[in-house]
Amino acid sequence: MPAPSAFIGHLRVYRPPAGLSDTSAFIGHLGRALGYTGRVSAASPLDPPRAFLDVTRSVTGRPWRDRGSDSAIQAHAATMVQAHGLPELLARVLAARGIRPGESEAYLNPRLRDLMPDPACLLDMEVAAERLARAVRDRETVAIFGDYDVDGAASAALLAGHLSRFGLDVRIHIPDRITEGYGPNVGAVTALAQAGATLLVTVDCGTSGHAPLEAAAALGLDVVVLDHHGAPEILPPACALVNPNRLDDLSGLGHLCAAGIVFLTLVALNRTLRRGGLDVPDLTADLDLVALATVADVVPLHGLNRAFVVQGLKVMRARGRLGLAALFDAASLSEPPEAWHLGYLVGPRINAGGRIGDAALGARLLNTADGAEAARIAAELDRLNRERQAIEAQAVADAEAEMDHALSLDPERPVLVTASADWHPGIVGLIAARLKERFGRPAFAFALRPDGTATGSGRSIPGADIGAAVRSAVEAGLALKGGGHAMAAGATLPGPDFSRFRDHLAADLAAAVAEARAVEALLLDGTVSAGGATAEMVRLIHRAGPFGSGAPEPVFALPRHRIVDAGLVGNGHVRARLRSREGQTLGAIAFRAAQGPLGLAILGAIGREVHAAGTLGVDSWRGADRAQLRLCDLALPD
């Protein structure tokens, strides 16, 4: 998340609603509105594990649990401290994320050479590498068809940049989200063949593109598919279809994003070319693109993915890629990039082109060697991102109001589905993500098109595979096309009546959603005081990073800290200052929380003691580094 200093806005003191001028009265009103029942002093023998700080229901409706309460986790942490000399706090963080004592050194210092598999373990990889090698030897014109998100842009730039080093003529085509939709299409494939391409490589798409790939074959184009999306049982025709998530692939690499698959393909290509006596360029400088795509596509940050991000961030900090350097400058990022910068600052700007502008801007930015061109594209993406934020804000407000009403009639609805003719198709995924965050269940948002069809995107919660549910809806004839991952999916529906599609998803996911919501809790890694939260402590914790999907950022509680001031800042964020009983203070911010239960609770608790929970970061301001808390929850002590 962006640091508080990245936001510009007038800090305003919150005034309680009329009739509730007394803060205590407001807190009581808020608690009743949220169903908050306070905390219990002890758990009965039949209760689940004791709540952290005895918080059984926070202002966001969650119990708090100790992530490291298991005796095995505590034993592993103790061993790391005693046998491996790790600081106790770092050892606890590692052990709570499943790292065993003997794995701690390799985890803290991941090396690609230790984690890289033989690319040949992927089905069709050797065929793909040989076909690409033939294109290099024969100086063919190669067409690359990518997706319009960060992973697609990075994958296209990665492949195009490497092939261009051999002197090949490479054409990149990123489809327009509105006029072409996701994946290869017959019109674009035909145009690429007419432009002289003899080899078509699809990246981050193509696994389900039967008709376009059949058209490519009829036009004389060889096709190589490099993808990671869920695959149907019957695959489209291609010279090679490299996808660890095809049903017959046994590589175990299904957690990689598309850029990771492309990188492995380039490793295989280099090996094939070396066997033929050719010199090949080093791939180390391209790890920045793999790191960017890995974080932005929210794939699990463990094993090879973790090494990609750790090593890729090192490359990125050297600012050797002009496009990324220009985007850092456009985003006012002056500090060395971290993983969260990629997800919250860089990724949204690249995605903005595919959402509401020119979908090819991201790939062009990441592949350009012209500094002036890089600055121009970065500025345009930054502008589009601000425009996207404004469009999104109103759409999310409308969607949340609709879902508030729907859930008041059916509180146990497992999946949320909403649609509007007023929504831009490029922001429906963002709307779905906000609904998922707000209501804690899978959500789908659709944009209604003039032709009567609807294009939409969904986001899910851990344990509910929305991608598989969408694919089964396609097989049942309830969607024209669709697919995706467990946590994110897209679909095109034949008309404005979503009831059958919604009911299908609900039936498919009801049990998984119920189970996930039943065990939903905020997991905490420990407690800290305002005085103990220092920049040095934060840097120690971040040695266990980068954090992201599959490697959750540590969450700490600040027990009984007083909110001495709070107000609105930036675009719907809430800033606060917490003071310990010893008198030390710590700055805090809750992003996008102003209209939700967390933001209302913070603003209504000025002057009150609270249990605050959040992640810790470093705010660099005017040459000084200070710890800051990114608030994610709040609870009221007895």
Residues 354 and 328 in one domain: yes
Q: The domain spanning residue 332 has which CATH number?
A: 3.90.1640.30
Pairing, β 416-420 against β 240-242: unpaired
Mean per-residue pLDDT over the chain, rounded: 90
Residues 214 and 317 in one domain: yes
pLDDT value of residue 25: 44
pLDDT value of residue 182: 87
The closest of 554, 489, 497 to 528, measured between CA atoms, is 554
Residues 512 and 526 in one domain: no
Question: Number of folded domains in the chain?
Answer: 3
Confidence of residue 9 (pLDDT cuts 50, 70, 90): very low
pLDDT value of residue 498: 85
- 363-369 mean pLDDT: 97
Within a domain: 601: yes
> Which range of residues forms the domain containing residue 39?
4-63+522-635
d(CA 146, CA 203): 5
At 37, phi and psi to the nearest 5?
-110, 15
The size of the chain, in residues, is 638
Residues 221 and 296 in one domain: yes
* Chain centroid to CA 532: 30
At 316, phi and psi to the nearest 5?
-60, -35
pLDDT value of residue 181: 86
The residue out of 364, 383, 402 marking a domain boundary is 383
Specify the higher pLDDT residue, 99 or 3: 99
pLDDT value of residue 274: 97
Percentage, residues of the chain above pLDDT 90 = 82
pLDDT value of residue 486: 87
Specify the higher pLDDT residue, 290 or 44: 290
- The answer to whether 190 touches 212, Cβ cutoff 8 Å, is no
Question: Does pLDDT of 609 surpass 60?
Answer: yes
Q: The domain spanning residue 423 has which CATH number?
A: 3.10.310.30
Residues 529 and 514 in one domain: no
pLDDT in tens, 512-557: 999 988 878 999 999 999 999 999 999 999 999 999 888 999 999 9
Residues 45 and 174 in one domain: no
Confidence of residue 287 (pLDDT cuts 50, 70, 90): very high
pLDDT in tens, 431-457: 999 999 889 999 999 999 888 899 999
Residues 444 and 335 in one domain: no
Within a domain: 97: no
Confidence of residue 48 (pLDDT cuts 50, 70, 90): low
The residue out of 383, 401, 427 marking a domain boundary is 383
Within a domain: 246: yes
pLDDT value of residue 113: 93
Question: Does pLDDT of 608 surpass 90?
Answer: yes
pLDDT in tens, 373-404: 999 999 999 999 999 999 998 999 999 999 99
Residues 220 and 283 in one domain: yes
d(CA 617, CA 535): 8
Question: Does pLDDT of 20 surpass 70?
Answer: no
pLDDT in tens, 265-281: 999 999 999 999 999 99
Within a domain: 78: no
pLDDT in tens, 474-522: 999 999 988 888 889 999 999 777 899 999 999 999 999 999 888 789 9
Specify the higher pLDDT residue, 390 or 124: 124
d(CA 123, CA 252): 11
Percentage, residues of the chain above pLDDT 70 = 92
Longest dimension (CA), the chain: 82
Specify the higher pLDDT residue, 549 or 78: 78
Q: What is the DSSP string of 522-543?
A: EEE-EE--TTT--HHHHHHHGG
Question: Does pLDDT of 627 surpass 60?
Answer: yes
Specify the higher pLDDT residue, 555 or 620: 555
pLDDT value of residue 50: 82
Confidence of residue 464 (pLDDT cuts 50, 70, 90): very high
Question: Does pLDDT of 49 surpass 90?
Answer: no
pLDDT in tens, 171-183: 999 999 888 988 9
The residue out of 502, 518, 534 marking a domain boundary is 518
pLDDT value of residue 11: 32
Q: Tell me, what DSSP letter sits at residue 274? A: H
Residues 50 and 18 in one domain: yes
* Chain centroid to CA 462: 13
pLDDT in tens, 180-217: 988 999 999 999 999 999 999 999 999 999 999 999 99
Residues 203 and 274 in one domain: yes
pLDDT value of residue 483: 84
Q: The domain spanning residue 556 has which CATH number?
A: 2.40.50.140
- What radius of gyration do the chain's Cα atoms show? 25
The closest of 155, 139, 158, 216 to 184, measured between CA atoms, is 216
- Distance (Å) of CA 466 to CA 234, 362, 406, 460, 484: 20, 27, 20, 6, 8
Residues 324 and 212 in one domain: yes
Q: What is the DSSP string of 214-227?
A: HHHHHTT-EEEEE-
Residues 495 and 615 in one domain: no
pLDDT value of residue 21: 38
The pTM is what? 0.85
